[in-house]
């Protein structure tokens, strides 16, 4: 009996042990996508807590799994799957793509939220869209990716930049860029980051989202998350080596229709030889009496057509012998670019890591134009125990920029083809446009130096070192409560050096001119210390999240620069002490410092995931303002209602997957000032102060560089936003709609003081602006099955910008183009409405018309009317006399355009078949105008010897088109315009040109106008003249990409490569929908040196994991 009891006890123990073993089993599994390919980095949660992350083969393992435990598998862009463990110990999960990604985690200020819980307006762009474009800039990747974000490329130079505006211009000052936050670190730019290292970008647009950043958030917030360590659930993750990179070439495209030598000769003929007073001794009717364009034959012939002996024509010889010089080809080249980023990530024990390094090189389309960048990235996260974790993250970059002189590029595009670059011996002609070089006895084309000299005699270089880092310590003292302290330092050092030798376009060609060397060093250091506490709790149908923050930061900047002359050429700017010139320029230096303290709080609450509320408040204190105005408070509140989750909507689930209404209001600020409110003190170098009974010699004085305004305070922007998120057919159709109304007041701007107060300027709160707009985005999944997947996205946005107050009132600030009731930077000028012609017109009802004997409403010949009233001849432009007083003066200026597009939009689509993928994106900006430096240059007779473009001129009947000259200098073989050609641009005359501006063609004693010079026509607005104003609307194909992802079955044979995608990419291949005759309408307002030819880039790239 005892034996039986003993056996029974042993059996019971074995049974208990077996049950215990079964209850604490090790769970294994694999996660695959719809194509059966393993998925790496998928998060596995057990009972709501991180438990594992899939490895390179999609496998995971979880020890001590209980039968009652619930396993949830989640990955961004895919639908979650949740199962109960039960008796199973091995699982295979197949994840399906989530068309609507309501569970996607979105980065918000100082935290993250599920997309379905958002109450504000936030747009996100993930790594799959960012890396697919192969762009050289992060901001370029964002162009057209989200509504309400206006991005414009401003340069075709290597490493050229982009301008970004979120929901319009909210300030009259110069700082219109958004706040950039990289991995929690606030920085002034993101250009230094390698695009291949970006995980995602979240753009905070409305005030309820940005108010958590308080006084720096008026222009929106761009949050960049780089690829980092897998911190949660990563117990043991095999190292994964990843490579992203591409090679590419860049070619110029869309070259304007520049004049050839023969076309330029005829263009000059129209100006110089068309006295228009006789043809075979016959007067040209009434037109002859209206002409002010006369110039002698001799001037034209000796300056342009004939040679030293008057029987040789330099021009005709160059044309006939094919000796024209295409100056652009001497400076342009096929550009090249490459970008490589290699990283390794993994986890061991409680430590996860991610390290990477990148190399980026861009050789521009101009000679000597090159950008080179090295990046270094690192991230370590460590879970020290169940309640304590720590980590460090850093981004470093070294950028080296070499450029050619801006002036050299401008001159290369300005010299006409008749100017030869090299002489017969192959040597550079120093002044190719002067009479001696042309072999003529007449006037020169231009005295400018040969821009090829700059390739040899000038050097411009900028080196920049940047480091961003953050170190954090995070504590979980109790359930649902987290405390995190983060210290984030950032450092930037830049050295700008230039050497300008002689001869060159920048220093001239005189033998007495000395070369010039310059060096500038700038050091910026900023640190931020954030202390954040979070409490998140769920009970029943209620969820609450509370965040509290204390932040302190300090910024310092030191600058030093020096100019010297006459240094040994080989020294460049590295040994300024080698200068031997008697010209001495004192070096300058400067120091800037500001500090800030902040307190912030945020409350998130939801009931049944149906009713959502978010409230934030932030208080900032800044040393940039005087006592009594240093602190500003910025609150916001937002409400969300997930209508689709209401019980009475359950019958719509089969077609209405998501419907959410959002309503928000918030206040943000801007503490950026145009200069400084706390100036440094400087010593006057000119010695201009006099004291007492001076002998007339000035004394050096110590004086402040600006005047302090003790009443200066924050710019404040209040914004109301209403939005709607929707999704139909289980996410096959989804999108968002937003309407916003934003008012900015107390805008910081410079104010001129009266003479009695010193005549200086002071920064003051003097303006008020309103922005209203509508945004819409739509994504459709057109096809989705085993082999095919086709998605399309549409973005559309409008913005209306309006100035409400200037200088504290309703008075316009014409000098700065600020007009109450108009948009910021409205174009203010004379209005060009046509060309004086030989056609009939209807006489307007104006006093000048009546005074000149015309009857309003009668039909008269245009040239007769305008000559009688204004003294304008046929072919001249018609400038509207808005006040009808018979004189064109500044009183006739008006708003003629706006630089803010009425709407922007984009279309993008991705089509995949099995392992192939194809995508494209198109971007557009519509209904906006700019002042074009290109038109100012190439349609401007002020540079009469320089290159021009072919445009459709109005040519009156009887105009001399071409001729020859006999040995006595008389015209022979004359060809005249038989009938009037009604071109769209005014006739090119000796005193004017199509871009010379309203009234400048009226120069002369008989001009019946209140304006007599170019400078007076530009008074009160220096941005240009009427012909420079162009509509820059355009459509542009931004990107076309074709890729192939190798199947897993093929790669397994290599035993090294885990995944591989190859692709070809074309950037900016097509532009259309624009009448702009310059390089590229996107940068039509840029200078000739930066806004050069359009470029198309062809890339071949690879994405590999080992």
Q: How far apart are CA 151 and CA 687, in angstroms?
A: 47
The predicted structure's pLDDT at residue 340:
94
The predicted structure's pLDDT at residue 71:
87
β-bridge partners, 740: 721, 773
> Mean per-residue pLDDT for 707-716?
82
Residue for token pair 């099955």: 785
Query: Who has greater pLDDT, 351 or 176?
Result: 351
The predicted structure's pLDDT at residue 772:
95
pLDDT bin (cut points 50, 70, 90) of residue 1024 is low
Q: Judge contact between 351 and 380, C-beta under 8 A.
A: yes
Q: How far apart are CA 757 and CA 1099, in angstroms?
A: 60
Q: pLDDT at residue 589 above 80?
A: yes
Q: How far apart are CA 676 and CA 708, in angstroms?
A: 8
Q: pLDDT at residue 426 above 50?
A: yes
The predicted structure's pLDDT at residue 704:
65
pLDDT bin (cut points 50, 70, 90) of residue 237 is confident
pLDDT tens digit sequence for 752-765: 776 555 556 778 88
Q: Where are the alpha helices (DSSP H) in 91-168?
A: 127-132, 138-142
Task: Tell me which fold the domain 25-94 belongs to.
Answer: Immunoglobulin-like (2.60.40)
> Mean per-residue pLDDT for 7-24?
43
Nearest to 264 by CA among 808, 835, 773, 946: 946
pLDDT tens digit sequence for 379-411: 999 888 889 999 999 999 999 999 988 889 888
pLDDT bin (cut points 50, 70, 90) of residue 1056 is confident
Q: pLDDT at residue 1015 above 80?
A: no
pLDDT bin (cut points 50, 70, 90) of residue 2 is very low
Query: Who has greater pLDDT, 911 or 106?
Result: 911
Cα distances (angstroms) measured from residue 187 to each of 395, 401, 520? 12, 21, 22
The predicted structure's pLDDT at residue 304:
53
Q: How far apart are CA 983 and CA 980, in angstroms?
A: 9
The predicted structure's pLDDT at residue 1090:
73
DSSP assignment of 736-754 equals: EEEEEEEEEEEEEEEEEPP
pLDDT tens digit sequence for 764-780: 888 899 999 999 999 99
Nearest to 409 by CA among 438, 443, 367: 367
Element (H, E) at 331: helix 327-331
Handedness of CA 831, 833, 834, 836 (dihedral sign): negative
Q: How far apart are CA 1019 and CA 1007, in angstroms?
A: 19
Global pTM reads 0.83
Nearest to 713 by CA among 819, 631, 773: 631
Give the least confident one: 125-134, 683-692, 866-875: 683-692
The predicted structure's pLDDT at residue 1026:
74
Q: pLDDT at residue 998 above 50?
A: no
Q: pLDDT at residue 1022 above 50?
A: no
> Mean per-residue pLDDT for 420-442?
80
Give the least confident one: 74-78, 121-125, 429-433, 829-833: 74-78
The predicted structure's pLDDT at residue 577:
86
Q: What residue segments make up the domains of the chain, in order of their start?
A: 25-94
Q: How far apart are CA 960 and CA 956, in angstroms?
A: 10
Length in residues, the chain:
1106
Nearest to 1027 by CA among 839, 889, 834, 894: 834
β-bridge partners, 589: 560
Q: pLDDT at residue 254 above 90?
A: no
Q: How far apart are CA 936 and CA 994, in angstroms?
A: 9
The predicted structure's pLDDT at residue 76:
67
Q: How far apart are CA 618 and CA 633, in angstroms?
A: 6
> Mean per-residue pLDDT for 511-520?
92
Q: Which residues of 880-890 are buried (b: 16+ CB within 10 A; e: fewer)?
A: bbeebebbbbe
pLDDT bin (cut points 50, 70, 90) of residue 1062 is very high
For 1028, the 3-state DSSP assignment is helix
The predicted structure's pLDDT at residue 17:
40
Distinct helix (H) and strand (E) counts, the chain: 17, 50
The predicted structure's pLDDT at residue 177:
85
The predicted structure's pLDDT at residue 1016:
32
The chain-wide mean pLDDT, for the chain, equals 81
Instruction: Please state the separation of Cα 165 from the chain's center in Å.
Output: 8
Q: Judge contact between 950 and 931, C-beta under 8 A.
A: no
Q: Of the spans 267-271, 883-887, 1065-1069, 1082-1086, which averages the highest pLDDT?
A: 1065-1069
pLDDT bin (cut points 50, 70, 90) of residue 467 is very high
Q: How far apart are CA 875 and CA 980, in angstroms?
A: 10
Pairing of strands 90-94, 25-32: parallel
Element (H, E) at 52: strand 49-53
Q: Judge contact between 324 and 260, C-beta under 8 A.
A: yes
Tokens of 709: 């305004």
CB proximity list for 456: less than 8 A, separation 6 or greater: 501
The predicted structure's pLDDT at residue 989:
62
> Mean per-residue pLDDT for 135-149?
82
Q: Of the spans 22-36, 180-194, 423-437, 666-680, which averages the highest pLDDT?
A: 180-194
Residue for token pair 């991005």: 151
Q: Where are the alpha helices (DSSP H) in 200-274?
A: 207-210, 261-272
């Amino acid at each position: 009996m005892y034996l039986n009891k003993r056996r029974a006890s042993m059996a019971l123990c074995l049974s208990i042990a077996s049950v215990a073993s079964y209850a604490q089993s090790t769970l294994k599994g694999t996660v695959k996508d719809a194509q059966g390919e393993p998925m790496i980095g998928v998060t596995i949660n057990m009972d709501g807590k991180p438990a594992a992350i899939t490895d390179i083969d999609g496998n995971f393992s979880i020890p001590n799994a209980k039968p009652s435990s619930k396993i949830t598998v989640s990955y961004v862009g895919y639908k979650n799957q949740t199962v109960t463990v039960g008796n199973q110990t091995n699982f295979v999960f197949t994840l399906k793509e989530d068309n609507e990604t309501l569970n996607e985690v979105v980065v918000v200020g100082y935290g993250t939220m599920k997309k379905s819980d958002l109450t504000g307006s936030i747009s996100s762009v993930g790594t799959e869209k960012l890396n697919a474009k192969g762009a050289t800039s992060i901001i370029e990747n964002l162009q057209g990716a989200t509504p309400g974000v206006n991005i414009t490329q401003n340069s075709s130079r290597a490493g050229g930049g982009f301008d970004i505006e979120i929901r319009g211009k909210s300030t009259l000052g110069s700082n219109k860029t958004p706040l950039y936050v990289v991995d929690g670190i606030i920085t002034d730019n993101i250009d230094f980051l390698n695009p291949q290292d970006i995980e995602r970008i979240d753009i905070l647009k409305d005030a309820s989202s940005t108010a958590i950043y308080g006084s720096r958030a008026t222009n929106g917030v761009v949050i960049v998350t780089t690829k980092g360590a897998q911190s949660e659930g990563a117990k043991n993750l095999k190292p994964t080596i990843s490579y992203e990179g591409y090679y590419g070439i860049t070619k110029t495209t869309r070259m304007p229709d520049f004049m050839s030598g023969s076309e330029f000769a005829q263009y000059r003929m129209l100006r110089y030889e068309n006295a228009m007073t006789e043809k075979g001794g016959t007067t040209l009717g009434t037109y002859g009496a209206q002409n002010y364009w006369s110039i002698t034959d001799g001037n034209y012939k000796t300056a342009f057509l004939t040679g030293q002996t008057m029987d040789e024509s330099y021009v005709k010889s160059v044309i006939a012998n094919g000796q024209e010089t295409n100056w652009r080809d001497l400076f342009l080249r096929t550009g090249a670019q490459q970008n490589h980023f290699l990283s390794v990530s993994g986890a061991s024990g409680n430590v996860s890591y991610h390290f990477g390094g990148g190399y980026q090189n861009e050789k521009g389309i101009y000679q000597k134009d090159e950008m080179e960048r090295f990046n270094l990235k690192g991230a370590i996260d460590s879970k020290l125990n169940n309640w304590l974790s720590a980590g460090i993250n850093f981004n470093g970059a070294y950028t080296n920029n070499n450029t050619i002189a801006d002036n050299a590029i401008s001159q290369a595009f300005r010299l006409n083809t008749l100017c030869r670059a090299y002489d017969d011996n192959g040597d550079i002609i120093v002044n190719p446009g002067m009479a001696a070089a042309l072999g003529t006895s007449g006037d020169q084309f231009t005295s400018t130096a040969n821009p090829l000299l700059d390739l040899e005699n000038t050097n411009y270089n900028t080196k920049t070192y940047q480091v961003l880092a953050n170190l954090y310590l995070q504590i979980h003292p109790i359930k649902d409560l987290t405390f995190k302290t983060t210290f984030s330092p950032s450092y930037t050092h830049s050295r700008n050096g230039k050497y300008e030798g002689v001869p060159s376009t920048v220093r001239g060609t005189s033998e007495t001119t000395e070369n010039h060397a310059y060096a500038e060093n700038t050091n910026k250091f900023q640190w931020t210390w954030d202390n954040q506490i979070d409490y998140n709790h769920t009970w029943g149908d209620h969820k609450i999240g509370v965040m509290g923050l204390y932040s302190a930061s300090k910024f310092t900047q030191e600058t030093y620069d020096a100019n010297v002359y006459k240094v040994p050429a080989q020294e460049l700017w590295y040994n300024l002490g080698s200068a031997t010139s008697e010209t001495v320029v004192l070096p300058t230096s400067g120091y800037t410092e500001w500090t800030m303290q902040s307190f912030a709080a945020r409350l998130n609450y939801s009931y049944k995931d149906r009713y959502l509320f978010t409230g934030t408040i932030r208080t900032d204190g800044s040393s940039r303002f005087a006592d009594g105005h240093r602190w500003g408070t910025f609150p916001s509140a937002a409400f969300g209602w997930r209508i689709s989750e209401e019980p009475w909507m359950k019958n719509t689930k089969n077609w209405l997957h998501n419907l959410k209404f959002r309503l928000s209001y918030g206040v943000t600020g801007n503490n950026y000032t145009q200069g400084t409110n706390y100036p440094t003190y400087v010593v006057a170098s000119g010695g201009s102060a006099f004291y007492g009974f001076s002998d007339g010699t000035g004394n050096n004085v110590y004086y402040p560089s600006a005047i302090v305004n003790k009443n200066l305070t924050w710019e404040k922007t209040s914004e109301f936003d209403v939005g709607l998120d929707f999704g139909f057919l289980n996410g096959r159709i989804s999108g968002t709609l937003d309407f916003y109304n934003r008012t900015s007041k107390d805008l910081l701007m410079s104010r001129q003081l009266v003479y009695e107060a010193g005549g200086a300027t002071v920064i003051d709160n003097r303006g008020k602006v309103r922005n209203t707009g509508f945004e819409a985005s739509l994504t459709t999944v057109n096809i989705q099955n085993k082999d095919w997947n086709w998605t399309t996205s549409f973005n559309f946005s409008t913005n209306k910008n309006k100035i409400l107050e200037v200088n504290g009132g309703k008075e316009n600030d014409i000098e700065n183009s600020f007009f109450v009731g108009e948009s910021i930077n409205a174009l203010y000028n004379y209005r060009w409405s046509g060309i004086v012609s030989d056609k009939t017109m209807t006489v307007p009802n104006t006093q000048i018309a009546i005074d000149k004997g015309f009857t309003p409403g009668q039909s008269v010949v245009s040239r007769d009317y305008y000559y009688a009233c204004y003294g304008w001849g046929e072919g001249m432009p018609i400038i509207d006399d808005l006040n009808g007083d018979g004189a064109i003066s500044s009183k006739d200026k008006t708003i003629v355009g706006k630089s803010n597009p009425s709407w922007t939009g984009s279309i993008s689509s991705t089509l995949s078949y099995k392992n192939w993928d194809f995508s494209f994106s198109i971007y557009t900006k519509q209904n906006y105008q700019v002042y074009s430096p290109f038109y100012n240059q190439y349609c401007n007779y002020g540079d009469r010897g320089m290159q021009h473009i072919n445009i459709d001129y109005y040519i009156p009947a009887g105009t001399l088109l071409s001729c020859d000259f006999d040995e006595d200098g008389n015209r022979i073989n004359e060809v005249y315009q038989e009938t009037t050609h009604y071109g769209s641009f005014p006739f090119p005359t000796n005193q004017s040109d199509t871009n010379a501006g309203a009234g400048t063609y009226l120069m002369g004693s008989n001009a019946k106008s209140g304006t007599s010079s170019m400078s007076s026509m530009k008074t009160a607005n220096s941005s240009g003249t009427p012909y420079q104003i162009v509509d820059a609307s355009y459509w542009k194909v931004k990107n076309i990409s074709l890729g192939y992802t190798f199947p897993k079955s093929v790669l397994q044979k290599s035993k090294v490569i885990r995944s591989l995608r190859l692709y070809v990419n074309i950037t900016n291949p097509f532009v259309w929908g624009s009448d702009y005759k310059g390089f590229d309408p996107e940068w039509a307002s840029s200078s000739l040196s930066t806004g050069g030819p359009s470029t198309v880039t062809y890339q071949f790239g690879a994405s590999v994991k080992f």
